[in-house]
Each structure stands twice: as structure tokens, then as C-alpha cells.
Amino acid sequence: MKEHATRLALIAKLADGQFHSGEALGEALGISRAAVSKHIKVLRSWGIDIFRLQGKGYSLPAKLELLDCDTILAQVKCPSLEVIPVIDSTNQYLLDRVGTMPKGASCLAEYQQAGRGRRGRQWLSPFGSNLYLSMYWRLDAGIAAAMGLSLVVGVAIAEALESLGAEGIKVKWPNDLYYQDRKLAGILVEMSGQAGEAAHLVIGMGLNIAMPEAEGEAIEQSWTNLTEACDSLPDRNMLAATLINRLHEALSEYEESGMNGFTPRWNRLDNFLDRPVKLLMGNRVVEGIARGINNQGALLLETEQGITPYLGGEISLRGC
């Protein structure tokens, strides 16, 4: 859309963190000062914190590092990468192209207009604050072989963040990353395929990097940013490249050997290991002590009856 192109050009002008007058921005973009003001209003609705100072113009609070496809491609082993600044959903974009992409094809966005999490929940996706990444993977062994895949992805992301200097990153069964008992990232695995045929998987991840407090007010659970876990935050292009590489490696390993190699890695990172928890399954609540996972990716819960494995996408885990 022409409007998006103008807005992205406006963001690129403001990304240096300096003040720019409405007149100068209008001249650079070939639009009126009034049009600049209208576009600024839309950008604010995208979650970009743009402020205006009388006599100086518009500015961002700090420099904004925009995702760059060429910069990322120089650091990754990726058969296909698209960086689409404004998109409805990175997962949906790849789902619509299943069957036409090579395994490992990835999509990144700056802003999702219809980002989604598990169970149809909205995933808040303000522009440039976080990282929204989806990857396509084909499992020739079929849908049944995808059991536990979200756990593998969680381990891969946590280990990638550790390699970049983040400390204290944990995983929460079955599909979240935590830091100090607060949600840092979410994983959404969507799949299609027929019995006896290959499974087509789209693995989506939303990682909070520097989510503005105002944008996070609508989130119904405690959350945090990667800035809290890193003394020195890696640049977003390096972060994206590292995540893509680690995901590709982990999925290849999973394809070869299943969950076996990932179970101890998960248990090392498990946020709720040996802690009292509640399992919520519809109207049913089971209380016990979390004892990690088994090689099928099931949560092991110890109660008075012993240790029982639990599987299923509708199970929620909450600290007591």
C-alpha cells in the first residue's frame, strides 16, 4: 500500500532518534505537513512512541534499529527469508504458502496487525519493539512425529538467548519463555497434513525486546522484556539471525533423533521444575510438584498418587 510505503519512509527518517521538523519531513517525503501529522497519528497507533516538541519537531525516544534482510542473510543459513515490515501475521503469511516454500523458509515483521497466540488469543505486536519470527518446516515422518515440537523450539530460543549474554532465561511447559517468573516470549506451532503424509509446520515466535509499558497494559499476565535479562542488548538483526540459525539446527536434530537429546536440556531450563504448580484442564484442576518432562514431551506431575505424565494443547500451567 502506498500509505504504508510513506509511513515506513517516515519511520526511517525518525529512526536516528533526532528531531525532525514537520516541514522537513514533508519535503523529504513529498507530502504536506498536515499529511505528516496524520501519518504520525497512525504510527502512534502501531505502538511507536513519537513525541513532538514545539519548535523542534518530531522525535523517537532513542534510535530505532530496523530489521534488514541483507544484514540477516549475511549471518544465516536460510533458504528463503522475507522481512515484511507490516503484516497481518507472520504465521498466516507462511501458512498461505505451504507447499511452495523450502524447509526452513522464514518470515520476519516489524509490526503485526493480527498477531495471534495460542487458543486464538491476540499477540500484541507494536512496531519495532520486539521480534516476530515464523519458520516453515516439513516433517516427512508425519503429524504424529511433531509431538513435543514446541518444547524443542523453546529450548532452542532459550539457548540462543543465553549465547547472546542473557542470563536466567527459563522455559514454561509447553510453549513459553520466562524470565524471573514473567513471560518473555511465546511460541505458536501450527500444522497441516493428512494421515500417512508429511506434516507441514509453521513455527511462530514473539519475543519481547523493549515492549513499551503503555503497550503492555492490555496483556493479562505478568510479562517482561529481554532488556531486563541482558546487560548489553544484542542488535535486532544479529538476534534474528541467531534465532533462525538455532531453530534450524534444533529442528534438524529433532528430525534425526526426536526428543531424546532435548529432554535434559529442557529440564535444565524448566522454570517450574520441583515447584508446586496447578494444572488447569478445562474445569479440572490438578495440584502437584512439577518434575520436568519425559521423552514424549509430557509434563511430569507428582501428586499423592505418584508421578503422572500429562499431554495436550489445552493444559495450562500456573505457579501456585
In the set 44, 121, 275, 318, the catalytic residue is 318
Let me know if 97 is a catalytic residue: no
Helix (H, G, I), strand (E, B) or coil at 40: helix
Spatial strand order in the sheet of 299-303? 306-310, 299-303, 284-293, 276-281, 316-319
Let me know if 13 is a catalytic residue: no
Helix (H, G, I), strand (E, B) or coil at 238: helix
Residues tagged in the binding site annotation for biotin: 89-91, 112, 116-118, 183
* 110-126 burial: b if 16+ Cβ within 10 Å, else e: bbbeebbbbeeeebbbb
Residues tagged in the binding site annotation: 89-91, 112, 116-118, 183
Distances 17 to 51, 127, 274, 298 between C-alpha atoms, Å: 11, 15, 46, 47
In the set 7, 103, 118, 265, the catalytic residue is 118
What kind and span of H or E run contains 6? helix 2-14
8-state DSSP, 199? E
Let me know if 56 is a catalytic residue: no
Q: How far apart are CA 316 and CA 318, in angstroms?
A: 7
Q: How far apart are the first and last CA of the chain?
A: 48
In the set 13, 97, 182, 183, the catalytic residue is 183
Active site residues: 118, 183, 318
